[in-house]
Amino acid sequence: MRLILLGAPGAGKGTQATYIKEKYNIPQISTGDMLRAAIAAGTSLGLEAKKVMDTGGLVSDDIIIGLVKDRLTQPDCANGYLFDGFPRTTPQADAMKDAGVTIDYVLEINVPDEAIIDRMSGRRVHPGSGRTYHVKFNPPKVEGKDDVTGEELVQRPDDKEETVKKRLSVYHEQTEVLLSYYGDWAKSGKPGAPKYRKIAGVGPVESIRDSAFAALSE
């Protein structure tokens, strides 16, 4: 199973990716995770990426494509892979196609902007452990405090409402075009064209998961 998950930031791609990779026993290739690891390690790439990410911008194609190509050479990708948050632009999609990266399915998770703003701006994180909460949907036992340590929770810069709105704007301008890019390619019936599926990303997580599994078995 080799697939791409598409959808706006905060559409729930990461959550559904976890279910899909467990079901098909494939690695999740998240450029966000790769970038965050680079930031945590304090590499020059990480520092450069952090400046861009903190303002809601997109990291350059060259950096991302380099990371991804290296990742696909690792042994755990032999049986397939799941792209979460990549490609984000038409040049990235073209670069994947030119590199001969095989894709079986493209799965779009569709969520309205208002729901995403509500979902992301309410996130709170415990920096020490990475535990996440939501002020409305998954609140801590004590407001603003981690359940385990009692330490302060923080709102990541890229979860602030103004940054979320900017990220959505960037998505609509630069990434939304991929919906038609892959949709048209799927309809073309050309050799190597993926299957394109679209599901709604609102409602209980389990029902979204079931929709995803059903779409990937068609």
Active site (catalytic) residues: 13, 88, 123, 156, 167
Is residue 216 within 8 Å of residue 107, measured between CB atoms? yes
Amino acid at residue number 178: L
Both tokens assigned to 21: 């990779």
Residues 6+ apart with CB under 8 A from 77: 26, 27, 29, 71
State how far the Cα of 79 lies from the Cα of 81, in Å rounded to an integer. Answer: 7
Is residue 58 within 8 Å of residue 170, measured between CB atoms? yes
Task: Please report the beta strands in 88-202, taking only residues with DSSP state E, as ranges in sequence order.
Answer: 105-110, 123-125, 132-134, 195-200
State how far the Cα of 191 lies from the Cα of 19, in Å rounded to an integer. Answer: 29
Residues 6+ apart with CB under 8 A from 144: 124, 152, 153
Helix 61-72 vs helix 44-54: angle between axes, to the nearest 10 degrees? 120
